[in-house]
């Protein structure tokens, strides 16, 4: 019996050309959360950072670019890849967390929405193409994909553009070691509804939000350097160790539940595309996931990684990773027809989500 499925028909990404290497932070003054200057050389701080995160470099937007510009460029690629008429889009959903932060300014700009700005830049005239934003922490892009799946399967839509875009280089505290995590970028997909006798596309999804004790794992706060503290600017902050522990405890089970919901075996999974938050953390999540299935040595090529070169661009990491693979730009990683892919993300909220997808 046939059913409606949501499938990805096009992908796109925008990786800013401005490359920032770890050695570019050698002149930073780093303080701890209590405002004390860290009594270690920056060379040691940076070396330890790279060992923990695997990040060697990241990308920043150009000074004249804002988040909606990056989102637009990724959208153009996705529309071209899907070979569709942009006027046929029913929805444009843009996942982000900080809006169009401009260079040298500290005020979030989200009026109009970034989705409205992208629709304007795409010169889409169709008033029935609904454009809106989704702030959901780092899992925002994947949550937007889940929302799109509901629209498509309900018959409310046939074509949806989903974008994840962020410019984190303007929201971090340069005196916080965590500033080296963050980067800028955008990724996008076109999702379309098709009727099929065989399961394909999005087979299952799972989301959880833990707010009672975990709502403030990521938050906005003052600079760690006391001289830079003022009421006009706050920065992205996180309780890194607690976040790491939370992710290891809950993300593997959420993925396992999603795989079970899709009636799939872990052995059927070809790739795990996880939010590029921290290289070592992602490896630990993968190991714990497979351990839940009594497998203690995951396949070596199961989890493609881009964080060492691109850093953590929040909502943009997963769609960018997917686009790089499909364009044969991520080493030997490939995705072929019939392959089962698991998407997963974790971030502010705290929120976790996962999608099982079959090509």
The pLDDT, as a whole number, for residue 107 is 76
Helix segments in 122-178, DSSP class H: 140-154
Per-residue tokens: 55: 């990040």
Largest CA distance in the chain: 67
Cα(146)–Cα(27) distance, rounded to whole angstroms? Answer: 43
Cα angle, residue 250 at apex, residues 246 and 254 outer, rounded to 5°: 150
**Could you give phi then psi for residue 19, rounded to 5 degrees?**
-100, 125
Tell me the helix, strand and coil percentages in the chain, rounded to 5.
35, 25, 40
Whole-angstrom distance, CA of residue 86 vs CA of residue 131 = 13
Q: In the chain, list all ranges with CATH 3.40.47.10.
A: 3-196, 201-358
Q: Do residues 269 and 342 make contact, with C-beta atoms less than 8 angstroms apart? A: yes
CATH class of 201-358: alpha beta
Residue 191: CB atoms within 10 A of its CB come to 27
Averages of pLDDT over runs of 10 residues in the chain (359 residues) are 94 98 96 92 95 96 97 98 98 97 82 97 98 97 98 96 97 95 98 94 97 92 79 85 94 97 96 96 96 94 96 98 97 95 96 97
Distance separating alpha carbons of residues 265 and 324, to the nearest angstrom: 26
**Four-point Cα dihedral 33, 36, 38, 39, nearest 10:** -150
Q: What integer pLDDT is reported at residue 228 of this predicted model?
A: 62
3-state DSSP assignment of residue 86 = helix
- The answer to whether 355 and 213 have CB atoms below 8 angstroms apart is no
Q: Give phi and psi for 58, each to the nearest 5.
A: -150, 170
Q: How many residues does the chain have?
A: 359
CATH architecture observed for domain 3-196: 3-Layer(aba) Sandwich (3.40)
């Amino acid at each position: 019996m046939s059913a409606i499925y949501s499938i990805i028909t096009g992908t796109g990404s925008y990786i800013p050309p401005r490359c920032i290497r770890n050695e570019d932070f050698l002149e930073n003054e780093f303080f701890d959360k209590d405002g004390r200057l860290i009594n270690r050389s920056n060379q040691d701080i940076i070396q330890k950072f790279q060992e923990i995160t695997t990040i060697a470099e990241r990308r920043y937007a150009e000074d004249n670019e804002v988040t909606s510009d990056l989102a637009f460029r990724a959208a153009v690629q996705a529309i071209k890849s899907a070979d569709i008429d942009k006027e046929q889009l029913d929805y444009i959903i843009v996942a982000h967390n900080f809006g169009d932060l401009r260079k040298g300014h500290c005020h979030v700009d989200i009026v109009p929405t970034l989705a409205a700005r992208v629709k304007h830049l795409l010169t889409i005239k169709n008033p029935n193409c609904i454009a809106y934003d989704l702030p959901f922490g780092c899992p925002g892009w994947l949550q937007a994909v889940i929302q799109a799946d509901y629209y498509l399967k309900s018959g409310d839509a046939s074509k949806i553009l989903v974008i994840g875009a962020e410019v984190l280089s303007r929201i971090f505290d340069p005196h916080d070691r965590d500033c080296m995590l963050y980067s800028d970028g955008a990724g996008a997909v076109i999702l379309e509804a098709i009727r099929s006798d065989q399961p394909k596309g999005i087979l299952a999804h799972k989301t959880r939000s833990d707010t009672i004790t975990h709502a403030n794992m990521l938050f906005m706060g003052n600079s760690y350097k006391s001289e830079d503290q003022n009421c006009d600017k706050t920065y992205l902050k996180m309780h890194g160790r607690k976040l790491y522990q939370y992710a290891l405890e809950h993300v593997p089970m959420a993925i396992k539940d999603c795989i079970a919901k899709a009636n799939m075996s872990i052995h059927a999974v070809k790739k795990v595309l996880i939010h590029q938050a921290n290289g070592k953390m992602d490896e630990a999540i993968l190991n714990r996931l497979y351990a839940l299935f009594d497998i203690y040595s995951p396949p070596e090529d199961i989890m493609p990684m881009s964080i060492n070169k691109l850093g953590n661009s929040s909502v943009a990491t997963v769609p960018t990773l997917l686009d790089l693979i499909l364009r044969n730009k991520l080493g030997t990683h490939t995705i072929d027809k019939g392959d089962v892919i698991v998407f997963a993300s974790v971030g502010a909220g705290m929120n976790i989500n996962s999608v099982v997808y079959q090509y």
